[in-house]
Amino acid sequence: MTRLFHTTVQTGPVEFEVSEVHCTKVSLGSLDNNSYLLHAGGNSPLLLIDAATEPRRLLGMMAGRPLGVVVSTHRHADHLQALAEVIAQTGAKPFAGRADAEAIAQQTGVASHQVWTGDQIGCGGVSLEVIGLVGHTPGSIALVLRGTGTGPTHIFSGDSLFPGGVGKTDSPADFASLLDDVTGKIFDRFCDQTIIHPGHGDSTTLGAERPQLARWRARGW
């Protein structure tokens, strides 16, 4: 197991295990977009979270393993630049949040299966719970990968939750919506050991961020 957290833009992948699921985190492009490849071992297919950019690099990382599913965490273009090519090359099934799926299709030509809070996305032994988070975009989603036994839960939060705050919003109402959703659907449900993997930059834990919630609300971003 290599480093789970990083403090600078990474050029190489970071690998970690969640129970029986192997995860690879890779930083792509000039905006340090994180893409995540998950599989359950053996010959099981891969699940990709955010086909952000550099499609040839992403495809090369699959090392001949089939790609079964691509999940887009939200509609913003920097998270979608490789989506059409990856889907065309692999035939993987695309998923996205219900309120962002149409915008993703308009940008990429890819029609995604629509999901929202409480839905499950499965692929070859990997099972992710969907959490809808409204504010950064209307249809942003986070994805929950639960550990077994004493292992921590991991949440892939897209651009809705980062170390030090929630994602960018365009109005006070959007900020309030996002912070309410992140508080009620993530912080109120999951313990401090839960690990958050955002769409850019470093990972964090809920325990590190929880004491800051009141300050985030007071500052308004």
Counting the structural domains of the chain, the total is 1
Assess if residue 191 is contained within a domain: yes
For the segment 154-179, what is each residue's pLDDT rounded down to a tens digit? 999 999 999 999 999 999 999 999 99
* Rg of the chain on CA atoms, in Å: 16
The DSSP string of 106-159 is HHHS--PEEE-TT-EEEETTEEEEEEEE-SSSTTEEEEEE---TTPPPEEEEET
Angle at the Cα of 48 from the Cα atoms of 200 and 73, rounded to 5 degrees: 50
Assess if residue 109 is contained within a domain: yes
Judged by DSSP in three states, 47 sits in strand
For the segment 99-129, what is each residue's pLDDT rounded down to a tens digit? 999 999 999 999 999 999 999 999 999 999 9
Assess if residue 1 is contained within a domain: no
Q: The domain containing residue 88 runs over which residues? A: 14-219
Sheet strand arrangement including 140-145: 120-123, 126-133, 140-145, 154-158, 195-198, 204-205
Residue 147 CB-density burial (10 A; 0-12 exposed, 13-18 middle, 19+ buried): middle
Enter the pTM of the model.
Answer: 0.94
Residues 6+ apart with CB under 8 A from 117: 130, 131, 132, 185
Assess if residue 4 is contained within a domain: no
Share of the chain above pLDDT 70, in %: 95
For the segment 58-103, what is each residue's pLDDT rounded down to a tens digit? 999 998 899 999 999 999 999 999 999 999 999 999 999 999 999 9
Residue 148 pLDDT greater than 90, yes or no: no
Assess if residue 5 is contained within a domain: no
Assess if residue 159 is contained within a domain: yes
Angle at the Cα of 190 from the Cα atoms of 40 and 201, rounded to 5 degrees: 65
Q: What is the mean pLDDT of the chain?
A: 93
Assess if residue 9 is contained within a domain: no
Residues 6+ apart with CB under 8 A from 161: 133, 142, 155, 167, 182, 186, 196, 198, 209
Assess if residue 54 is contained within a domain: yes
The DSSP code for 12 is S
What number of other Cβ atoms are within 10 A of residue 189's Cβ? 14
Domain CATH number, residue 73? 3.60.15.10
Residue 5 pLDDT greater than 50, yes or no: no
